Amino acid sequence: MYLGKMVEIGTDEEIYENATHPYTQALLSAVPVPDPAARESRDRIILTGDIPSPANPPSGCRFRTRCWKAEERCSTEVPLLAVPEVLSGAAKHESACHFAAVREPAAA
C-alpha cells in the first residue's frame, strides 16, 4: 500500500519471488540481510524524488514522483490493479503499475 492505495496484491511467495510494483521492489530491497557476504552483493533500490503529501497526493499514479519507471502516462492515468499481461506466465498476482513488466531500475 502506498498513500492509501493498494499497489500489489498476491501471496507471500508471489510477492517475495516476483514483485512487480516498483514500490514493493524498493521495500523488499531494504529488508536486512544477516549474511555479510550476501549483504554486499545484493542490489538496493534507493528511492529519490519528491515525497508527496498524503493530504494532497499527485495525479495519476501516486508513486510516480519517486518511481524510476514513471513516464508521461503515469501523471495522467491512475493504474488499476491487474495481472501484468507481459508477465502473466510468471506473475499471477495483481500490480497497479502501467510498467509492471519493466523489471530493473534505470541506471543512475
DSSP letter for each residue of 6-67: --EE--HHHHHHH--SHHHHHHHHTS--S-HHHHHHSPP----S---BTTBPPSS-TTGGG-
Q: Grid coordinates standing for 16?
A: 517475495
In a domain, 76, yes or no: yes
Structural domains of the chain, count: 1
In a domain, 29, yes or no: yes
Predicted local distance difference test score (pLDDT) of residue 57: 95
Q: Which residue has the higher pLDDT, 92 or 72?
A: 72
Predicted local distance difference test score (pLDDT) of residue 36: 85
The residue segments making up the domain with residue 24 are 8-95
Phi, psi of 95 (to 5 degrees): -140, 135
The pLDDT tens digits of the residues spanning 42-79 come to 888 999 999 999 999 999 999 999 999 999 999 999 99
In a domain, 108, yes or no: no
pLDDT of 82 strictly over 70: yes
In a domain, 105, yes or no: no
Predicted local distance difference test score (pLDDT) of residue 39: 80
In a domain, 85, yes or no: yes
In a domain, 62, yes or no: yes
